[in-house]
Amino acid sequence: MRQPDVYDITIIGGGPVGLFTAFYSGMREMKTKIIEFLPYLGGKVPYFYPEKVIRDIGGIPAISGEKLTVDLIEQAMTFDPTIVLNEQVMYMERLEDGTFQLTSNNGAKHYTKTIVLATGFGSLKSVKLDLANAVDFEEKSLHYSIKKLESYRNKNVLISGGGNSAVDWANELEPIAKRVTLIYRKSAFTGIESNVSKMMNSTVEVLNPYELLKLNGENGQLSSAVVKQVDRADTKVIEVDNVIVNHGFEINLGPITEWRMNIENGTILVDQTMSTSIPGIFAIGDVANYPNKLALIAGGFNEGPIAVNSAKQLVSPQEPLNHLFSTHYEPLTSRN
Ligand SMILES: Cc1cc2nc3c(=O)[nH]c(=O)nc-3n(C[C@H](O)[C@H](O)[C@H](O)COP(=O)(O)OP(=O)(O)OC[C@H]3O[C@@H](n4cnc5c(N)ncnc54)[C@H](O)[C@@H]3O)c2cc1C
């Protein structure tokens, strides 16, 4: 029987953090595989915000989600990792020789010496609006993410939410839409301060604490929304063409939660080496949990190399822990 191909490292999840980790793993000459559930790479970025401008990655003042994804994929491919798409990893078994066997939803088996979980929140599902007729408008005039900013030009847009995504979209849409109203059920916003200040000093109409009470419209097209002040009877009717709901994400790691790692609030506890409670399995990016965790792309870009270096120590204990620089003096492969 043909021996299975055993990888040094298998990265589960091809989001931004998994992609950068594959690049770094290639730098350390680890035989690398990425397994991604979706039919494309990039994770939340192309899924939720291809056109949003990302401004909080060091050295990149501003880049669209789409361009960042293209660049990350190019970088990840530098050392030619194996890419498997359309597979959700479900089960893990440790074989007698210490190799991990992974089984996907389609029954495919993968063999690896170490595993890096870069699964984000598992599913890419947003928390849905809790109103009976919301589903009638979904994907027509009610959205949980913004794919094309231009489609909101001259529209009356209502955003529900008070975290980074809601505030970000309010600022992005303000110059495009006819009118942007943002409602939030709490008094204090949780979005980053400078974005909240920008929104407060703009033409965005901010109503808080307010919540959505009723949606009106027909044939999938919204015409108005009734909003209510929290703990009061006061209501307002707002004319709307579109409602955008940013109420967070469903965290669902699926059968991975049964692998017996330490899990808290749906995310996986790791130590400073990015190791989970199972030796040989690491977690990085949005799924990783440790004190003061930053669920941002830039945070994951540091965790990936730490996990790879920790994995390298298991695979090749004679090698040094850290290789400090990635610099070499060949011309740039792109943009030169
Ligand atoms: C609207 C919005 C705006 C944002 N703006 C910014 C910003 O400006 N700057 C910033 O730094 N961050 C921003 N973020 C957060 C950022 O997108 C995340 O921190 C980042 O995507 C995390 O990357 P990740 O690779 O850990 O996970 P993800 O991007 O979630 O990717 C995880 C991937 O793993 C796959 N997967 C999950 N389970 C399995 C499985 N069992 N088998 C195979 N594949 C699996 C998923 O399909 C997914 O593709 C924003 C998020 C949102 C929603």
The mean pLDDT of the chain is 94
The reply to whether 116 and 254 lie within a common domain is: yes
Atom of ligand 1 nearest to the CA of 249: 53
212 a known binding residue? no
The verdict on the CB of residue 53 being under 6 Å from ligand 1 is no
Residue 5 in 3-state DSSP?
Answer: coil
Query: What does residue 147 show for φ and ψ, rounded to 5 degrees?
Result: -95, -40
The pLDDT score that the predictor gives to residue 323 is 63
Peptide bond into 209 cis (omega under 30): yes
Whose CA is closest to 222, among 239, 236, 206, 235? 239
Q: Is residue 329 part of a domain?
A: no
Q: How many domains does the chain have?
A: 2
Confidence of residue 249 (pLDDT cuts 50, 70, 90): confident
* Under 8 Å between Cβ of 141 and 242: yes
**If you take atom 49 of ligand 1, which residue's CA is the nearest one?**
43
Provide mean pLDDT across the span 17-35. Answer: 97
The pLDDT score that the predictor gives to residue 324 is 62
The verdict on the CB of residue 48 being under 6 Å from ligand 1 is yes
Residue range 30-79, pLDDT digits in tens = 999 999 999 999 999 999 999 999 999 999 999 999 999 999 999 999 99
As beta bridge partners, residue 238 has 225
Confidence of residue 251 (pLDDT cuts 50, 70, 90): confident
Q: Is residue 310 part of a domain?
A: yes
Whose CA is closest to 183, among 130, 142, 248, 236? 236
Tokens representing 242 are 């579109």
| CB proximity list for 321: less than 8 A, separation 6 or greater | 309, 312, 313
Atom of ligand 1 nearest to the CA of 299: 11
Q: Is residue 46 part of a domain?
A: yes
Query: What does residue 200 show for φ and ψ, rounded to 5 degrees?
Result: -65, -30
Output DSSP code: residue 192.
-
Query: What does residue 158 show for φ and ψ, rounded to 5 degrees?
Result: -115, 125
- Nearest 10 degrees: CA dihedral of 148, 153, 157, 163? 50
Provide mean pLDDT across the span 66-94. Answer: 97
* Under 8 Å between Cβ of 239 and 156: yes
Task: Give the angle subtended at the CA of 51 by the CAs of 46 and 53, to the nearest 5°.
Answer: 110
The verdict on the CB of residue 12 being under 6 Å from ligand 1 is yes
Q: Is the pLDDT of residue 17 over 90?
A: yes
| Alpha carbon distances (Å) from 152 to 19, 125, 134, 193, 284 | 31, 22, 19, 25, 35
The reply to whether 101 and 141 lie within a common domain is: no
The reply to whether 11 and 118 lie within a common domain is: yes
The pLDDT score that the predictor gives to residue 336 is 46
Q: Is the pLDDT of residue 226 over 80?
A: yes
Residue range 285-303, pLDDT digits in tens = 999 999 999 999 999 999 9
Atom of ligand 1 nearest to the CA of 168: 3
**If you take atom 42 of ligand 1, which residue's CA is the nearest one?**
88
The verdict on the CB of residue 120 being under 6 Å from ligand 1 is yes
Q: Is residue 76 part of a domain?
A: yes
The pLDDT score that the predictor gives to residue 84 is 98
Atom of ligand 1 nearest to the CA of 123: 37
Confidence of residue 331 (pLDDT cuts 50, 70, 90): low
Q: 134: part of which helix (H) or strand (E)?
A: helix 134-137
44 a known binding residue? yes
Residue 74 in 3-state DSSP?
Answer: helix
* Under 8 Å between Cβ of 33 and 104: no
**If you take atom 15 of ligand 1, which residue's CA is the nearest one?**
296
Confidence of residue 29 (pLDDT cuts 50, 70, 90): very high
Amino acid found at 151: S
Q: How close is the Cα of 276 to the center of ligand 1, in Å?
A: 19
Tokens representing 38 are 């979706």
| Alpha carbon distances (Å) from 99 to 93, 174, 315 | 8, 53, 11
The reply to whether 146 and 104 lie within a common domain is: no
Q: How close is the Cα of 286 to the center of ligand 1, in Å?
A: 7
Q: What's the rounded Cα separation, in Å, for the pair 52 and 57?
A: 14
Tokens representing 98 are 């210490």
**If you take atom 30 of ligand 1, which residue's CA is the nearest one?**
120
The pLDDT score that the predictor gives to residue 315 is 95
Q: How close is the Cα of 45 to the center of ligand 1, in Å?
A: 6
CB atoms within 10 A of CB 138: 15
Q: Is the pLDDT of residue 335 over 60?
A: no
Residues in the chain: 336
The reply to whether 238 and 291 lie within a common domain is: no
Residue range 146-179, pLDDT digits in tens = 989 999 999 999 999 999 999 999 999 999 999 9
The reply to whether 309 and 224 lie within a common domain is: no
As beta bridge partners, residue 6 has 111
Provide mean pLDDT across the span 73-97. Answer: 97
Residue 157 in 3-state DSSP?
Answer: strand
The reply to whether 156 and 169 lie within a common domain is: yes
| CATH code for the domain of 35 | 3.50.50.60
Atom of ligand 1 nearest to the CA of 35: 43
Q: How close is the Cα of 16 to the center of ligand 1, in Å?
A: 7
The reply to whether 117 and 12 lie within a common domain is: yes
**Domain interval for residue 177:** 134-245
Residue 29 in 3-state DSSP?
Answer: coil
**If you take atom 3 of ligand 1, which residue's CA is the nearest one?**
165
Q: Is the pLDDT of residue 329 over 90?
A: no
Q: Hey, which of 87, 119, 246 would you mutate to test ligand 1's pocket, going by the most ligand atoms within 8 Å of its Cβ?
A: 119
Among residues 217, 245, 273, which one ends one of the domains?
245
The pLDDT score that the predictor gives to residue 319 is 77
Q: Is residue 74 part of a domain?
A: yes
**If you take atom 1 of ligand 1, which residue's CA is the nearest one?**
165
Provide mean pLDDT across the span 119-139. Answer: 92
